Structures are given as structure tokens and as C-alpha cells.
A and B are shown apart, each in its own frame.
Chain A
Amino acid sequence: MGSGNILYVLRLGGLKLLLLLLVSIAGFVLLHLAPGDPLSQFTLAPGMTAERLAQIAHGMGLDQPLWRQYLHWLYGIMTGDWGRSFRDQAPVLGIIVSHLAATVELGLAALAISFTLGVGMGLLGALRSGRVLDDVTSVVSIVLFSLPTFWLGLVFIYVFSVRLHWFPTGNVSSPGDRSVVGYLRHLALPALTLGLVSVPVWSRYMRTFAGEILKQDQIRTARALGLSSGRIIVHRLLRGALLPMIPVAGIYLPTLLSGALVTETVFSWPGIGRLFLDSLQYRDYPVVMGVLMFSAILVLLSSTLAELVHHAADPRLRA
């Protein structure tokens, strides 16, 4: 690794840290805009006096100036103390982590579906550029891009659960059924919903990148020399077009998280999307902010990782 690379990593890391700081300020401001302050949960307690309330406020640091409250909060975020839920006083970070597995499983299943379909559709469009199949794949990708996730979920539930009885309508498992098959049956519809709506993220870029590579001389030469188009796809197109797709993974995560929120709600899937919405309903702002910060950190990490991998994998980017 040369000094250029180290400089690149340092610059990237510094920029991302700056972004994270800005995100935390935005989060703190949002939390303070929220109606109902942290004390409201105590005001209704029996035997509560103004004096006692002031004591609690002091104990929580609410009598401090705002910038000190922010620094305190930021310190907590960095040291793993993300505050406690208004609902049950459980630590926020623990609540989030306990809901993470469900979202990760749903997200991975959706990723597999959307990546396979998206790359396939993009390749088809590029190989049949300007012909009917190109038009069809691009219209399909526009339609998928335009689908409200909740509506697609409802349609799937109606068709595959209510009508055909192939899959359950929601939740992770049926009572008394802990089998893997049962779990997969529950996963199928939400994963398909989330996967389908995020296909265009991959297909549009794949169409563009593959199209650019097809214009290059080496492919023309290979075709002119009579190499079958199947081998061209495997050897040049896929390798060449997948490389610039790495940063797209950074774009994909926010889309996936937003989609997961709605999908989990429709399918009663117990992930962080539904946790977020439940907490919003109960005005449990520490958890709301926790999920917002958590997802922002996740997005920053994944985009940084994608950029680093892309930088390492593509020799042209190395200084």
C-alpha cells in the first residue's frame, strides 16, 4: 500500500467522521423538536412535586445548557449508552440489537433476490440494446421503481395467502412450528416484496455499465472473431460491469432500510423497521433517535466500505 492509498483512506475516514458528527447534531436537534420532553413520563406519577421533578431534571442533566446536553449525549452514543426507552426503561442499544437479526435475515434474502434479478435484467437490456427486450426490461424496472412497497405487500398477501393459501400472511413463525421450512415460508413473501422493489437499484446501473463495456473495442473484436456471446458475457461483461457496481451497494442499503420499514409493518416482521414505527407511535423518542442514528451509522459504514473495496479492486482508481 503506497502513501497515496493511506492518504486516500485518511481523507475518506475524516470526511465520514465529519458527516457522522453532522448527523448526530441533526439527530439531537430532531430529538429536541419532539413534543413531550423526557420529564413528561414522571409528571403524572402519584405524589410528584415540582421540587422532586426539578431533582429528576437535574439528575438527567436537563438543566444544563443545550450544548453541554449535546456533548453528554454524544459521549453516550460513543460509549454505548444510548439512553433508555420511555416505554420500559430498557437500554436503547440493547433493544435495537435484539431486533437486528430479523432485519438482517430479511435484508439478505431480499438482497439475493434483487441482485440476481437486477443484474440479469441489466445484462439482458444491454445485450439487446435498442430492441424490444431492452424496452421491456427498462419499463419493468420503471414499474418496480414506482411500486409502493406496502401495496405490493398487500397484493402478495391477498394473492398468495388469502387466495392460494401458499404462504402465511405475516410474522416469523406460526405457533408451535419452529421448523426451518416454516420459517422460510414466513420469510418468502416479505423477502420477495422487498427484493422486487429494490431490483431497479441494480438493474439500472448494470444496464449502463454493461452497455459501456459492450461499446469497447475488446468486446467488438471478440465478437468479430466469432466468440460465442455466452463466453463474452461470462468473461468480460460480468467481470467488467460488476466492478463499478461495488459502490452501488452503498446506495442500496438506505433503499433497503426504507423498504424494510414498510415491509416489516405490512408483514408484522419483528425487525428494526417495525420497532421504529412502534416507537414512533408510542412517542418513545430515545428509541426513535436510536434507530435513526443506528441506521445512519450503518449507511456511512457500508458506503465507506464499498468505496474502499472499490478503490482496492479497481487499479485505475489507485493513485
Chain B
Amino acid sequence: MTMRLPSVLRRLLSHPRGMVPAFYVPAIIVLCAIGPWLLPFGELHVDLYHRFLPPLGDGHLLGTDEIGRDVLSRVLMGGRVSLLVGVVSTAISTLIGTTVGIVAGYHAGLSRFLITTVIDTVLCFPVVFLLLTLAAVLHPGIGTIIGIITLVSWMEVARVAQAQTRIVRQQDYVTAVVAMGAGDAQVLFREILPNILPAIIVSATLNIARAILLESYVSYLGYGIQPPDASWGNLLNNAQEYLESDPWLAIIPGAVIVLTVVMFNLLGDALRDAIDPARRGS
């Protein structure tokens, strides 16, 4: 099932479940990247005369927060941080997970046992508990968040890579290539890697969704990105206090998180179906 890009794209865009996220994901990235430059209010601009403005109030499309900062600016700046955390931690954990997974999948034996044991150990801790402990123990900051999310995320990719590698390794043509005297490196890079890549890409897409969600949990609980810097999670930090009078302060940033995470998840699912149409509906 090698991937041919044009046909994959065509299949992806042929169904609304693929088309919608395929447009949303680039759109939200571009919006967060350039949006803050186009807005009249900086995300840290405090305006005590205009606190708690409702959405559409006085030139503020999404209103203002408890010290008069523009919510739209903060949502977009927060998006930069959240998306960055999601993409960078996914990139690192995909690299680690793929390497570890291939090693574990290619040769049975001690390395496979060690790797699966380590994975199982980490999975014994409920993820959020572990993330919060690490975040509280280490110095808070964007690098720390990326690091600890990577630490709990690479296993998922490693599992996929391991399972796929084992399948590909047992294929007849790979056995043939090995019988013809190909070295490990050649088999790994020319046969295994290209064939497990589709599954890795799908897994990475789903991983971005999870990373964004995890960042929002940690930052919401106060151990992630620290105020006044914005991230999608910490925008809801104080929102519960004002829930009665100003519910949009909680509802809007949360809705943006949900929408984005849903879209990345849908994109991952749609990519899986587009890459391997036979799997659809199973």
C-alpha cells in the first residue's frame, strides 16, 4: 500500500469528513500565524475602561476579559502556542516513536521486550497525573511542556510503528530482498520505512490532536504556559469565577479548542481511509 499523493488527496477531498478538516487545519494555522498582526489590539494590551465587554462589543469581535484584553487577540496568540506545542511535540515523539517502533518490530528478542516493558510502565500512570507532576517538578515554560507531552506521547507512535514493521517484515517481497543479500540498512530505509510511513502520518495527525488537548489540561490547571502569555488552556484559568456574569470567557476559548481538536482527529481518520480505502468502515 505505497502512498500515491494525488490519488490520496483526491480521495481525502471527495468526502466532507475529509474535505472540511483539510481546509480547517491550514486555515487555523494561518489565522493564528498572521492574525495577531492584523488586529488593532495587542494580546497583552490592558484596558481597564473596557473590561468584560461581550462579544461584538465596541470593536472587540469576541469581547474583552477581566482586565480589558481583547479575547480574539488572546485566542489567536494562544493558538500560536497551543499549535506550536502540538506540532513540535508530535514531530519529536513521531521521530522517537518511529525509531523505537522499527527497532522493536524488526528484531524479536530483548530489545522488543525492553521497549514494550518501558511503554507499559509509563502507561500505568494516568496521563494527566503524570503530566502535572512533571510540570510541577520542572520549571514551567513552553520547552518543558513540549518535553513532557513528548514523553507521554511517543509510545502511541512506537506501538503503531512496531506493529506495522512486523507486518511488512513478514511480507514475501521483503523476505526475497533479504534473501538476495540486502543489508539491514537497505531493508529498513527502502522497504520498511516507505511502507509504514502512511500509518505513521495518520498516527502523527491524531497525536497533534491529543497534544493540543493535553496542553490545554495542563495550562488550564495552572502548570503549563504561565500568564500573561496566552495558550488555549490558560485562557480558561479564571473563567469559572466569571461563569455567571460573563460565560463567553469560558465558552469561546473552549469551543476553539474543541473545534481544532475535532478537526485534527477527523483529518487523521479521513487520511487513514484515503490512504487505505479497503479499511473504510472496519
Binding site for B on A (CB under 8 A): 18-20, 22-23, 26, 30, 33-35, 129-130, 134-135, 138-139, 142-143, 145-151, 154-155, 157-158, 162, 208, 211, 254-255, 257-258, 261-262, 265-266, 276-277, 280, 283, 288, 291-292, 295-296, 299-300
Q: List 30 A-B contacts (CB under 8 A).
A: A19-B121, A22-B117, A30-B134, A34-B137, A130-B281, A138-B269, A139-B266, A142-B262, A142-B265, A142-B269, A143-B258, A143-B262, A146-B258, A146-B265, A148-B233, A148-B254, A149-B217, A150-B217, A151-B255, A154-B236, A154-B251, A155-B250, A157-B240, A157-B243, A261-B132, A276-B132, A280-B132, A280-B133, A280-B136, A296-B125
Name B120-144 residues within 8 Å CB distance of A. Answer: 120-130, 132-134, 136-138
Chief secondary structure at chain B's binding surface: helix
Distance, CA A150 to CA B251, complexed state (A): 11
Shortest distance in angstroms between B63's beta carbon and chain A's nearest beta carbon?
15
Shortest distance in angstroms between A288's beta carbon and chain B's nearest beta carbon?
6
B interface residues, how many (CB within 8 angstroms): 47
Q: Which of A18, A146, A150 lies in contact with B261, CB distance below 8 A?
A: A146
B251, A158: Cβ atoms under 8 Å? yes
B258, A148: Cβ atoms under 8 Å? yes
Q: B112 in the interface, Cβ–Cβ < 8 Å?
A: no
Residue numbers in B under 8 Å from A276 (CB-CB): 129, 132
Q: B32 in the interface, Cβ–Cβ < 8 Å?
A: no
Kindly list 8 other residue pairs between chains A and B, CB separation below 8 angstroms, not including A139-B17, A277-B132, A296-B124.
A148-B254, A151-B255, A158-B251, A254-B123, A261-B129, A292-B129, A292-B133, A299-B125
Shortest distance in angstroms between A142's beta carbon and chain B's nearest beta carbon?
5
Residue numbers in A under 8 Å from B125 (CB-CB): 23, 26, 254, 292, 295-296, 299
Distance, CA A94 to CA B146, complexed state (A): 35
Q: How many A-B residue pairs lie within 8 Å, measured between CB atoms?
A: 134
A147, B282: Cβ atoms under 8 Å? no
Interface mask (B225-239 → A, CB under 8 Å = 1, otherwise 0): 000000001001001
Q: Which of B124, B137, B223, B254 lies in contact with A299, CB distance below 8 A?
A: B124
Distance, CA A158 to CA B245, complexed state (A): 10
B254, A292: Cβ atoms under 8 Å? no
* B121, B239, B266, most chain A CB atoms within 10 A: B121
Chain A residue with the shortest CB-CB distance to B239: A154
Binding site for A on B (CB under 8 A): 17, 117-118, 120-130, 132-134, 136-138, 209, 213, 216-217, 220-221, 223, 233, 236, 239-240, 243-244, 247, 250-251, 254-255, 257-258, 261-262, 265-266, 269, 281-282
Chain A residue with the shortest CB-CB distance to B269: A142
Distance, CA A310 to CA B124, complexed state (A): 19
Given A142-B266, A146-B262, A262–B129 Cβ distance below 8 Å? no
Residue numbers in A under 8 Å from B262 (CB-CB): 142-143, 146
Distance, CA A239 to CA B229, complexed state (A): 52
Given A135-B17, A211-B282, A254-B126, A266–B240 Cβ distance below 8 Å? yes
* A146, A155, A292, most chain B CB atoms within 10 A: A146
Distance, CA A19 to CA B120, complexed state (A): 7
Distance, CA A138 to CA B216, complexed state (A): 24
Shortest distance in angstroms between B122's beta carbon and chain A's nearest beta carbon?
8
Distance, CA A276 to CA B131, complexed state (A): 12
Residue numbers in B under 8 Å from A265 (CB-CB): 221
B243, A162: Cβ atoms under 8 Å? yes
Chain B residue with the shortest CB-CB distance to A253: B126
Residue numbers in B under 8 Å from A261 (CB-CB): 126, 128-129, 132
B126, A299: Cβ atoms under 8 Å? yes
Distance, CA A299 to CA B126, complexed state (A): 8
Q: Which of B220, B221, B282 lies in contact with A208, CB distance below 8 A?
A: B282
Given A254-B123, A295-B129, A151–B136 Cβ distance below 8 Å? no
Shortest distance in angstroms between B143's beta carbon and chain A's nearest beta carbon?
16
Q: Which of A22, A158, A211, A291 lies in contact with B129, CB distance below 8 A?
A: A291
Residue numbers in A under 8 Å from B266 (CB-CB): 139, 142
B128, A262: Cβ atoms under 8 Å? yes
